[in-house]
Amino acid sequence: MEPPRAKKSRRGAQRTRDPGHPAPVPASAAVEAPRFESTPAVLGGESRGQEAGADGGVDRISGLPDAILGEIVSLLSTKEAARTQMLATRWRHVWRAAPLVLDGIDLAAKDLPAGVEILRAADEALAGVVSLILAAHPGPARRFCIPPRHLHDRPAAVDAWLRSQALDNLEELDFCDYWQLRPFPPAPPPASAFRFSDTLRVATFSKCKLMDRSVEGLQFPHLKQLALEDVSISEGSLHAMISSCPALECLLLNHSFGFSCVRISSSSLRSIGLGASRCGNQIQLREFIIIDAPCLERLLFLRQSVAVNVSVIRAPKLETLGCLTVINLTTAVRNVKILAVAPWPINLDMAIDLLKCFPCLEKLYIKSFISGEMNRWHRKHRQFIKCFDIRLKTIVLELYRGIRSQVNFASFFLLNASKLELMTLAVENRADNDAFFAEQYRVLQMEKRASRSARLHFRTERCNRAVHVIHVRDLAVANPFECRCWH
């Protein structure tokens, strides 16, 4: 039941318009104007100036200061943030006072039937909504995100949006499209996209073309996260852009082209994500060199369809590495603690070589099939077991089926890793799961495990991601190999 005060406010809003509070954004700008009902007893108890509903509940949220309400609204999706104006007169001005978060992907229609004309009509409707929101909000803005196809389809409209006063002091600019509904040729963003260079904290450019004249001379003093995905950019402009970001912490280069070699010298970078693919006749990445990155902690390789030669000259804090398909090291790398590998297939000899290369390894993720070799180890690796301190605490094995070679592989670590805390086996969902799990517990000799605190966990959900990086912000996650698909 709606508290009496909220009802009174709504009726009053229908009769008159408070000159101190502008009218709500049109329903089309919020995509839908649903009916709202206040939530009873959000925090419980009573509050001065708040009226209790018939059930004794108290609306305490509305009694919070405007600054806190604005922060709450800015954390909502674009739709829900605009809808808060419909709650009551008390809320009507909060959306306009809060930093604008305009996410075109959140506003876009979902599950549309196939058809070019239908998709074009949906994009036209989205463009209209974006224009309405920018006209209704005075700014400043925190985030502006639209699919990059609008750069090609309606460049004049995008330019007008970016020049809007509502986007002044923008902190996050995002031309991204996680669901490409139709192909389109890459187009350059307008010059107005770079008017925020002094205030941007996060920038994502995807499926577009960055011209030399656009990025020449730019400085991004506060930019912390930069993503270039499916972007055409010259080698000189790429290096100039990275060098112009003295505070850069996360860099995502995914399937971009126009350059063959990247050299990284950065005192601020903490995470790098790299993906390379065939680009037809375009110049594509062949060599990636980290010359000096004193703060680099994570170097992640996304799905790659071409070979890239990676060299690390100086990265003393590098602790997380993967997902590697080829490892060619002649000296031990002691600071790496988290490693993911995806050679096809892998055997126990290769895994032991990994431990020798990374002697301080604590978490190992094997994202590929364990080979059909028997992986016998009791005699072959007796000396290694006697002399080497296996520090692994977490092991994740994908595509586990319980065949003899896999059992031998897994039991090697269970019976010899004295610091092991958790082994996760990713298995197919079977009708006889319980019986299969019990059998594996027996054949893996869990009662003889080297670490009495070690646990065996079976995961039936299938995850196809070797590295869980979708947005550049994911590079800041401490462990990007831990599956978060079902969290």
Please report the DSSP string for 309-356 in residue order.
EEEES--TT--EEEEES----SS--TT--EEEE--SSB-HHHHHHHHH
Considering only residues 54 and 327, tell me which one the structure prediction assigns the higher pLDDT. 327
What integer pLDDT is reported at residue 27 of this predicted model? 37
* pLDDT tens digits along 433-469: 889 999 999 999 999 999 999 999 998 876 667 788 8
How many degrees, rounded to 5, is the angle at CA 315 between CA 283 and CA 260?
Answer: 5
User: Which of 97, 122, 152 is at the close of a domain?
Assistant: 97
pLDDT of residue 305: 67
- Where does the pLDDT of residue 479 fall: very low under 50, low under 70, confident under 90, or very high at 90 and above? confident
Q: Span 54-65, mean pLDDT?
A: 65
**44 within domain boundaries:** yes
Tell me which residue range forms the domain holding 10: 4-97
Is the pLDDT reported for residue 209 higher than 70?
Answer: yes
pLDDT of 280 > 70? The answer is yes
Tokens 């972007």, located at residue? 231
Per the prediction, the chain carries an average pLDDT of: 81
- For residue 325, pLDDT beyond 80: no
pLDDT at 178: 61
Task: Name the β-bridge partners of 232.
Answer: 209, 257
Cβ distance 321 to 343 under 8 Å? no
Question: 142 falls in which pLDDT band (50, 70, 90)?
Answer: very high
Q: Between the CA of residue 136 and those of 23, 297, 309, what are the distances in Å? A: 9, 43, 50
User: Mean pLDDT throughout 109-116?
Assistant: 64
Domain end call among 97, 112, 147: 97
Q: Look at 35-49, 147-161, 183-197 and tell me which has the smallest mean pLDDT.
A: 35-49
When pLDDT is averaged across residues 313-324 and rounded to a whole number, the result is 90
Please report whether residue 54 resides in a domain.
Answer: yes
Report which of residues 278 and 191 the model is more confident about: 191
Instruction: Tell me which range, 85-94, 180-189, 239-248, 372-381, is most confidently predicted by mean pLDDT.
Output: 239-248
Maximum CA pair distance of the chain?
88
Band (355; pLDDT cuts 50, 70, 90) = very high
User: In sequence order, what are the beta bridge partners of 299?
Assistant: 272, 321
Domain end point (choices 97, 130, 157): 97
Q: How many domains does the chain have?
A: 2
**What is the reported pTM?**
0.79
Q: Which of the given ranges, 85-99, 169-183, 314-328, 424-438, has the highest pLDDT on average?
A: 424-438
pLDDT in tens, 235-273: 999 999 999 999 999 999 999 999 999 999 999 999 999
Please check whether residue 430 lies inside any domain of the structure: yes
**Taking the CB of residue 118, how many other CB atoms lie within 10 A of it?**
13
Asked whether residue 483 is domain-assigned, the answer is yes
Residue 365 DSSP SS3: strand
The CB density around residue 1, as the number of other CB atoms within 10 Å, is 12
422, part of any domain: yes
Confidence of residue 224 (pLDDT cuts 50, 70, 90): very high
The whole-number average pLDDT for the span 166-183 is: 82
Segment 331-360 mean pLDDT: 86
pLDDT at residue 48, rounded to an integer: 34
Residue 205 within a domain: no
Residue 256 has a pLDDT of 92
Decide which of 371 and 192 is more confident: 192
Matching residue, tokens 């002649």: 330
Is residue 73 within 8 Å of 94, Cβ to Cβ?
A: yes
Of residues 9 and 209, more confidence is placed in 209
pLDDT of 17: 39
Q: Place 368 in a pLDDT band, splitting at 50, 70 and 90.
A: confident
Asked if the structure places residue 219 within a domain, the reply is no
Domain assignment present for 83 = yes
pLDDT single digits (tens) 147-163: 898 998 899 999 999 99
Do 172 and 144 contact (CB within 8 A), yes or no?
yes
Which percentage of the chain shows pLDDT scores above 90? 44
Which residue type sits at 23? A
